[in-house]
Homo-oligomer: A and B are copies of this chain.
Amino acid sequence: MKIGIIGLGRMGGNIARRLMRAGHETVVFDRDEKAVAALVADGSVGAASLADMQGKLADPAIYWVMLPAGDPTEQTVATIADQCGPGGIIIDGGNSFYKDDIRRAKALAEKQVHYVDVGTSGGVWGLERGYCMMVGGDPETIKTLDPILEALAPGVGSIPRTPGRDNDLEDPRAEMGYIHAGPAGAGHFVKMVHNGIEYGLMQAYAEGFDILKGKSSEHLPEDERFDLNLTDIAEVWRRGSVISSWLLDLTAIGLAKDQMLEHFTGSVADSGEGQWTIDAAMEEKVPANVLSAALYARYRSRVEHTFGDKLLSAMRFGFGGHVEMPQ
């Protein structure tokens, strides 16, 4: 199939490459001409503008937009929705907020343009491993896109089948590494919760390794201290333990390079999805202490002291002078 890809950052570029490896034709555009040239060298057709791209695609056209969420995606979707005509398909493969998808899909439907949102997990490893994708949109459009999605997905590969799974009852796409999650927005919603879980998992490991490391702490009586080798612990847990995971593999890689992790500052960024997951939990009235705590740990990592901490000290000063004992 022929597909236009807009946005050739690390994700967009590799998506184009993986599609070409599977025999699909790609037309590519990016504000950065060098990024376009690099893809052209790999076999893509380059486009000089969005309008130019339209002329180089089939009719109806299929677009994959891979831009930062918010304005860049919003404006690009609007522009190509105007130019592609009835029957066109616009895929947002970025990290949009799912309520924006719901809104856009409604607006585009009035022009008979199909809107599809694809939540994509896999990071820089996706080119080789394939991308795990959660897709929202109408069933007919997804069926049209199946060859594209199949090419991007990891496929069945060597991952063992889930005992008891019956593909007659469920969507057989799931075993290929992608799903049709529901109507527009459902793809990004599922991806959003995926990231919320990711934060929680990461923080669980982080706290655990903190406790392992702290076991040599001077807060402890000398005969209760252990000087543990975190690199070996991460390694051994990868092998037969209940908590083995891909994130643990990454932890083992990081610790093998530098057990003290000294080249990291400890300031941790968060994308919007952790926050949106908490919003969703609150809208649904679902308690989510772990996912919230994971998010807050990142906020906290980025400030030296909170004003709240100082307020605690102010209160303590108020009731105890500087004396700590009996309050």
A207 touches B315 (CB 8 A): no
Determine whether the beta carbon of B165 is less than 8 Å from that of A256: yes
A288 within 8 A of B: yes
Within 8 A of B (CB), among A269-327: 269, 271, 275, 277-302, 304-321, 323-327
Given contacts A266-B304, A319-B250, whether A121 and B9 have CB atoms under 8 Å apart is no
Q: Please, which residue of chain B has its CB at the minimum distance from the CB of A239?
A: B177
A22 within 8 A of partner (CB): no
B123 lies within 8 A of A327 (CB): yes
Decide: A312 and B206 in contact? CB cutoff 8 A. Answer: yes
Contact of A123 among B125, B126, B283, B320 (CB under 8 A): B320
Interface check A47, CB cutoff 8 A: no
For residue A68, CB closer than 8 A to chain B, the reply is yes
Docked-complex contact A132 and B102, CB < 8 angstroms = no
The distance in angstroms between the C-alpha atoms of A287 and B223, with both chains bound, is: 23
Report whether B200 and A285 are in contact in the complex, using a CB–CB cutoff of 8 Å: no
- B-chain residues with CB within 8 Å of residue A164 when the two chains form the complex: 253, 256-257
**CA distance in complex: A183, B224 (Å):** 10
Bound together, the chains give a CA A237 to CA B193 distance in angstroms of: 11
A153 to B240, CA, bound (A): 8
In the complex this chain forms, how many copies of it are found? 4
Chain A residues 242 to 259 lying within 8 A of chain B, measured CB to CB, are 242-257
A251: chain B residues at CB < 8 Å are: 311, 314-315, 318
Known: A297-B287, A318-B254. A126 touches B240 (CB 8 A): yes
Of the 9-residue stretches A48-56, A77-85, A228-236, which lies at the interface with chain B?
Answer: A228-236
Whether A312 touches B203, Cβ cut-off 8 Å, given contacts A124-B320, A164-B253, A245-B247, is yes
Contact assessment for B245 and A246 in the assembled complex, using a CB-CB cutoff below 8 Å? yes
A97 to chain B, nearest CB (A): 12
Within residues 149 to 196 of chain A, which ones have a CB less than 8 A from any CB in chain B? 153-154, 157, 159, 162-166, 170-171, 173-179, 181-183, 185-186, 189-190, 193-196
Task: Indicate whether A143 reaches chain B with its CB closer than 8 angstroms.
Answer: no
Establish whether residues B211 and A315, one from each chain, have CB atoms under 8 Å apart when the complex forms. Answer: no
